[in-house]
Amino acid sequence: MLEPLPQEQRFYAALHSGDWPAPQREWQLDEVGLSPSGLAELFETQLMSRHLDLHARRLQARGEAFYTIGSAGHEGNAAIARAFRTTDPAFLHYRDAAFLIQRSRAVPGQTPLWDLLLSFAASAEDPISGGRHKVLGSKTLHIPPQTSTIASHLPKAVGASYSFGLWRRLGGGGEWPADSVTICSFGDASFNHSTAQGALNAAGWAAYQGAPMPLVMVCEDNGIGISTPTPNGWIEASMRSRPGFHYLACDGLDLLDTWRAAREAERIARRRKQPVFLHMRCVRLYGHAGSDAQQAYMTPARIKADEARDPLLVTAGLLQRHGVLDAAAIEALYRSVAERVAQVAEEAICRPKLETAAQVMASIVPPPRPERVRPWQGEVDATPAPMAKLLNQALQRSMTRYPHLVMAGEDIGRKGGVYGVTQRLQAQFGPHRVIDTLLDEQSILGLGIGLGQSGLVPILEIQFLAYLHNAEDQLRGEAATLSFFSNGQYTNPMVVRIAGLGYQKGFGGHFHNDNAIAVLRDIPGLLVACPSNAADAVGLLQEAVRLADEEQRVVVVLEPIALYHTRDLFEEGDQQWCFTDPGPEHRLGVGEPGAWGEGRELAIVTYGNGVYLSRQAAARLEADGVALRIVDLRWLTAIDHDAVHRLVADCAQILIVDECRRSGSPSEELIAGLVERGMASDRLHRLTAEDSFIPLGRAATVTLPSVQAIVAQGRRLVASRQHGEVAANAVGTGKVTAGSGEA
């Protein structure tokens, strides 16, 4: 028999004294529609969750468990699980083990204790994350894993809810039944996070206009966030009269009251297809996590009062008062569950663990799925055009060929986007497939994640690169992690079109000319493409759509604003930066660079606006007799360094023209990649943007690479190389080392 932990003493004391805390209101079983066996089942679920929490502490002390943030005090959410269908997607708070356990009881063949203990032990056999994190999740139970749940999962829950109605309009399909309800749960401290407020606003905004939004947002209010108290009454005051929402409240310590409120929430959300805010008051026991000593910030009186409100004590009292179980049966069940958890744990901790980097990284890239593209039946406009026009044509084609493709963003519909890239698409495909969103990038990306997770393929537009930064965690912490933490079982494919970079004339400053992309390039699994011309823009966008649809990838296409409507290369009217649409089958594979010219004196490696500037510089350098070539990266992540090396290996000097800031820019990776492949460092040079924000007015481009700077640097490099060769021939040995080439 297990030695009771100090946290269990209160339960045994109440059990032997019969001193059970009473709920706020004494509901009758038939009054709330719950059977005696149903109440007993919920109690056993609560016990399973509690003993997992307790045993995790025993295992951690032995070095066998690694994550002890528990559900103690929140076990009332078992009643919420029972009130919904097992096919309703549930994006869960990390204190919702009882929800997962209870849902598993309605699906044959489930082993929740074994599964959760494998997760505690970080076993490679953990069925949801494969040992990568202790997460609550199950593909079979329609519980996608959440890794943080500090509100970052709420926007995608809104997106998932929106997808049900969208799938109905598209004729059916999707990850979940069209009459589903999304459940998402979070804490009272997370409620104050800007991401939570954005999701609440987006859900209410949509519902206020009559859009179907079958969503139940469960706020599990235990009154404290780690050590910071939530003001008494704050959650209710904030939500009771919030537009678009139905507010319901329950005592999360009382299973009967929670069951009553959860059933009402389910009825409203499913029948009316409107969002519900379910405010569940509960208590946090044992501190925030295993290492948290709440005695440092809570008085002994408060700790004792919270322990007296233990939901297990309340449920035990309900069982006795309603004649379901007596004290002896309650104690027997309590001990048997504890022993079962301990026995399963001893087996779980012996199961294999992740051991290699390859094993850990195996699920960063999700598994592919069958192609869902229709053959193209239309004609291709052969008129040469600038980038914005050809992007519009490619989007129109893609929407026709992929019936499950959906576009969303600010002003992309009736207005056609700030730069006209999405003109007339809403008129052709309807407002349900070309969605004008509210002004909130977190909600736009969250909408896309939810749509992607439901089986659609969203193309999202972020108006300006600078606008991404307030929402980048939706990519970093949510979109890019889902496959990783679900062992490839869940994906949220999407294409994010972002207008950005510098050189925009007549409009801008920092908020409209942003050349900071480091935040995108260091997200595992995320792909970033950047076209320099209209034909490549088509090839990259069409490949991005294919990658999202077939390979389930998250792809960002960074579109240079300054090149959207650029027609001329050298002089006004020459039309040399207009290109012919390469057609529906043209795709530029990940990492595939482009090349122009065959000169061997100088290679310029660049991308985006840099290609345009380098082509102009090349005309002047060639007039000086310099034989050069230009390499266009096209992809700013998953760079094919072997291909780049092959394209420049026979060149005397290599100049990387990088319009992004010197620190954290692609040029750093390119230099390292070439050096690793044996290239001498004195052949490698950079011309980058300064580590500066971009100002307004005539000074807007002074911190960026220019045609003049490229020409000057190219001339210096060729001259220094020639001088070095002359000097070497004169003395028979040695060489002259060129400068760093940074400007």
The residues annotated with a catalytic role in the active site are 512
Residue with tokens 């309009």: 169
Residue type for position 450 = G
- SS3 letters across 603-620: EEEECCHHHHHHHHHHHH
Phi and psi at residue 249, to the nearest 5°: -130, 150
Residue type for position 519 = V
556 with 528: CB under 8 angstroms? Answer: yes
Q: How far apart are CA 483 and CA 478, in angstroms?
A: 10
Residue type for position 106 = A
Instruction: Enter the DSSP assignment of 271.
Output: I
359 with 124: CB under 8 angstroms? Answer: yes
Q: How far apart are CA 54 and CA 72, in angstroms?
A: 9
Single out the residue of 398, 698, 393, 694 nearest to residue 542, CA to CA.
398
DSSP per-residue string spanning 183-213: EEEEETTGGGSHHHHHHHHHHHHHHHTT---
Residue type for position 624 = D
DSSP per-residue string spanning 430-488: -TTTEEE--S-HHHHHHHHHHHHHTT-EEEEEES-HHHHTTTTHIIIIIITTHHHHTTT
Distances (CA, A) of 419 to 204, 238, 466, 522: 29, 38, 16, 28
Q: How far apart are CA 281 and CA 401, in angstroms?
A: 49
What number of residues does the chain have? 743
Cβ-based burial of 375 (10 A; exposed 0-12, middle 13-18, buried ≥19): exposed
**Gyration radius of the chain's alpha carbons:** 30
Cβ-based burial of 633 (10 A; exposed 0-12, middle 13-18, buried ≥19): buried
Single out the residue of 666, 350, 335 nearest to residue 517, CA to CA.
666
Residues sharing a CB contact under 8 Å with residue 469, sequence separation 6 or more, in sequence order = 516, 519
Q: How far apart are CA 664 and CA 193, in angstroms?
A: 29
First-to-last C-alpha distance (Å) of the chain: 73
**Is 225 strand, coil or helix?**
strand
User: Could you count the other beta carbons within 10 Å of the beta carbon of residue 587?
Assistant: 18
Residue type for position 430 = G
**Which pair of structure tokens corresponds to residue 160?**
């998932």
Q: How far apart are CA 307 and CA 310, in angstroms?
A: 5
Q: Percent helix, strand and coil across the chain, each rounded to 5?
A: 40, 15, 45
At what angle are helices 707-731 and 609-623 packed, to 10 degrees?
50
The 8 Å CB, 24+ separation contacts for 400-404 are: 400/374, 400/376, 401/373, 401/374, 401/375, 401/376, 401/584, 402/372, 402/373, 402/374, 402/457, 402/545, 402/549, 403/170, 403/374, 404/170, 404/173, 404/372, 404/455, 404/456, 404/457, 404/549
Q: How far apart are CA 194 and CA 152, in angstroms?
A: 9
